[in-house]
Amino acid sequence: SQPLSGRQAAELQSKVVPSKQILHSDNMEMEPETMETKSVTDYFSKLHMGSLVYSCTSKRKNK
Partner 1 sequence: SKASRMEASCLELALEGERLCKAGDCRAGVSFFEAAVQVGTEDLKTLSAIYSQLGNAYFYLHEYAKALEYHHHDLTLARTIGDLLGEAKASGNLGNTLKVLGNFEEAIVCCQRHLDISRELNDKVGEARALYNLGNVYHSKGKNVASAGTHDPGELPDDVKNALQKAANYYEENLTIVTKLGDRAAQGRAFGNLGNTHYLLGNFRSAVLAHEQRLLIAKEFGDRSAERRAYSNLGNAYIFLGEFETASEYYKRTLQLARQLKDRAVEAQACYSLGNTYTLLQDYEKAIDYHLKHLVIAQELNDKIGEGRACWSLGNAYTALGNHDQAMHFAERHLEISREVGDRSGELTARLNLSDLQMVLGLSYSTNNSMMSESHVVDNSLNGTRPRVGRRHSMENMELMKLTPEKVQNWN
Judge whether 53 and 44 are in contact, CB under 8 Å.
Answer: yes
Query: Within 13 Å, how many C-alpha atoms sit on residue 46's CB side?
Result: 5
Per CB under 8 A, the list member of 31, 58, 61, 62 interacting with partner 1 is 31
Select from 37, 41, 39 the least CA-distant residue to 57: 41
Number of residues that bind partner 1 (CB under 8 A): 46
Closest distance to partner 1 from the beta carbon of 62 (Å): 13
Contact footprint for partner 1 (CB under 8 A): 1-5, 8-9, 12-13, 15-43, 46-47, 49, 52-53, 55-56, 60
